Amino acid sequence: MSDTDLSRREFLARIDWAARTSLVTLSIPAILGAATRARAAQASGAAFSTLGAVEAREFAAIAARIVPTDETPGATEAGAIHFMDAVLGDSHGDLLPILREGLTELQALAERSHGSTSFAALTPEQQDRLLKEIEDGGFFGTIRFLTVAGTFSLPMYGGNREEIGWQLIGFENRHVHTAPYGYYDADYAARGE
């Protein structure tokens, strides 16, 4: 077993945990509707349709700590914030007040701890410490879920710009698979059909 296999398994386990701690569940129609708007917003460079500028900056900063940019691209480059904006403006607008309240609490914690009401203005180390303090709550679980969905979903859903998320986990989007197939394919090939 390679380190890559282990990290992929750990990644999938964490996705499952993130989905269970999230306040949001996404249906296929909701994702597809949000996807269309997120792709259009990204392509045109349009402002966010649901999130205010401060909210978008703060949520993007949180997403950037969940899937950080280091020697590889992260949630920022994958456009996860556009996916969030579209999903929250579509069928999950009811979650927006909850997320706004969670953001207000996070900003108050940032001010008490570091003298800044802007989470995005803190250093990555300060951001990580604050997120660790709130990681068991519904606010963080929801933002994490939306970040993962926006980073690793099909690009047609509005995130995973240029398949960045897939590159991070080594997923190859192949429409045609090559041999070796299963044992039944070997028999088929041997018969010359």
Question: What is the pLDDT at residue 153?
Answer: 72
| SS (HEC) of 133-179 | HHCCCHHHHHHHHHHHHHHHCCHHHCCCHHHHHHHHHCCCCCCCCCC
Between helix 28-44 and helix 80-89 the angle, nearest 10°, is 130
Q: Which of the pair, 92 or 72, is modelled with greater confidence?
A: 72
Q: Which amino acid is at 68?
A: P
Confidence band (pLDDT; 50, 70, 90) for 169?
A: low
Look at residue 26 in the predicted model and tell me its pLDDT: 52
pLDDT at 134 over 90: yes
Identify the residue whose tokens are 């994958």. Answer: 78
Q: Which long-range contacts (CB under 8 A, 24 or more apart) does 6-9 make?
A: 8/169, 8/170
Mean of pLDDT over the chain: 75
Q: Note whether 87 and 34 are within 8 A (CB).
A: yes
Condensed to tens digits (0 to 9), the pLDDT of residues 136-149 reads 999 999 999 999 88
| pTM (predicted TM-score) | 0.67
Residues, the chain, total? 193
Q: For residue 2, what are its two tokens?
A: 């390679």
Q: Which residue has the tokens 């990555």?
A: 124
Per-residue confidence band for 150, with pLDDT thresholds at 50, 70 and 90:
confident
Q: What single string gives the DSSP state of each residue in 56-76?
A: HHHHHHHHHHHS--SSS--HH
The mean per-residue pLDDT over the stretch 25-32 comes to 54
What is the C-alpha R_g of the chain? 19
pLDDT at 1: 39
- Supply 7's token pair: 């990290």
Burial code (b: 16+ CB inside 10 Å, e: under 16) for 111-138 equals eeebeeeebbebeeeebeebbeebeeeb
Average pLDDT over residues 172-193: 58
CA distance 101 to 183: 56
Distance CA 154, CA 27 (A): 14
Residue 161's closest CA among 67, 68, 88, 80?
80
